[in-house]
Amino acid sequence: MIKSYKLRRHIANAFVYLFLIVMGFVWISPFIYLLMHSFRGGAEIYGSTIIPQEWTLQNYIDLFTGSGGTASLNFPRWFLNTFVVACFSCVISTISVLMVSYAFSRLRFKARKKFMNVGMILGMFPGFMTMIAIYYLLKAMGLTQTLVALVICYSCGAGLGFQISKGFFDTIPRALDEAATIDGATKNQIFWKIILPMSKPIVVYTVLTSFIGPWTDFILAKIIMGDARDNYTVAIGLQLMIDQDFKNTYYKQFLAGSVVVAVPITLLFLKMQKYYVEGVTAGGVKG
């Protein structure tokens, strides 16, 4: 009886392994395709075979040196732009989010609940409903087609994303605050010296999410930048490369560019996921 039960379990597990292997392959096969074809050589724009027949590094070289007719597509510049924007907006957003979450979680003041409700309601409007208004607002400030505008756009609304880190702060025992208050600490000291050091997972999570944001967004960047190609971020840049005009020229360079962007972001994300699980399971158990 026991033996047959074991046997049955082995057979079941074998099926599960088979399923996972097949599905895992299906899941990452587009990326394998992406990786392989970014190294594809030859004159053909779209490959006619699944596995490339010629291999080359030329697509990457074209992308970074501007050879092979990609000079008008300034990929290194786009990469640098995105990096700068990501750094600045990451700093500003992280600070805003943590400040707002701490205030909502720990401080008790008049209209706290009202502020939280307004924050929730604002989050429910479709995000880009306001993009036209933001565009004209930035235009009135003379900021359209600049990287400053992008930093502002990515970081200004950050304070609204307080839910996750507030949830995390809520789980830190209040007794700690009280003990510190008795010892004469101000709220400011409690925030910097007690709460923040205890919140490493959620701080890292917030930093990484806000850093990744500018690399992946593309609607807002497209509207703000218009045709100022020198100020593009990688997202709109890559989309430009498979636009109607360029599609039949730069397809392979597009694949190479996608790899260049996807690899670091993927690594960051996998790193972030660890902190996400730590932070969110701690902050979200009450669900």
Partner 1 sequence: MTYVEYKQLNPFQRFAYNTKKFFCNIPHAVAHFFTALGKAIVKFFVGIGKGFANYGKTFVKGDWATKLSYLIFGVGDLSKGKYYKGILFFAVEVLYILYMAFFGWGYLKMFPTLGIQAQRTEYINGIIPKQVPGDNSMLILLYSVLTLVITVVVFAIYITNIKDAYRHQIMKANGQKPTSFKYDMKQFLDGKYHITLMSFPVLMIGIFNVLPLIFMILIAFTNYDKQHMPPGTLFTWIGFDNFGSLFNLVEGAKKGYTFIKLTEWTLIWAVAATFSNYILGMIFALMINKKGIKFKSLWRTLFVITIAVPQFVSLLLMNQMLQSNGAVNILLSNITNSHVEIQWLNQDATLARWVVIIINCWVGIPYTILSMSGILMNIPEDLYESARIDGAGPVKTFTAITLPYMLFVTTPQLITQFVGNINNFNVIYLLSNGNPTTEKYYQAGETDILVTWLFKLTMNSQDYGLAAAIGILVFVICATLSLIVYNNSKSMKDEEAFS
| Nearest CB to partner 1, comparing residues 194 and 265 | 265
Q: Return d(Cα 223, Cα 245) in angstroms, integer.
A: 19
67 in contact with partner 1 (CB under 8 A): no
Options 61-69, 71-79, 112-120, 196-204: segment touching partner 1 (CB under 8 A): 112-120
Residues in region 201-240 near partner 1 by CB under 8 A? 212, 215-216, 218-219, 223, 235, 238-239
58 in contact with partner 1 (CB under 8 A): no
| Nearest CB to partner 1, comparing residues 18 and 67 | 18
Whether 145 contacts 231, CB under 8 Å: yes
| Nearest CB to partner 1, comparing residues 134 and 231 | 134
Whether 224 contacts 149, CB under 8 Å: yes
Residue 136 CB neighbour total at 10 angstroms: 11
| 163 to 202: interface string for partner 1, x by CB under 8 A | ----x--xxxxx-----------xxx--x-----------
55 in contact with partner 1 (CB under 8 A): no
Return the sign of the alpha-carbon dihedral for residues 254, 258, 260, 261. positive
Least distance CB 159 / partner 1 (angstroms):
3
User: What secondary structure letter does DSSP report for 193?
Assistant: I
146 burial (CB, 10 Å; 0-12 / 13-18 / 19+) is: middle
147 in contact with partner 1 (CB under 8 A): no
Helix (H) or strand (E) holding 55: none
Least distance CB 235 / partner 1 (angstroms):
5
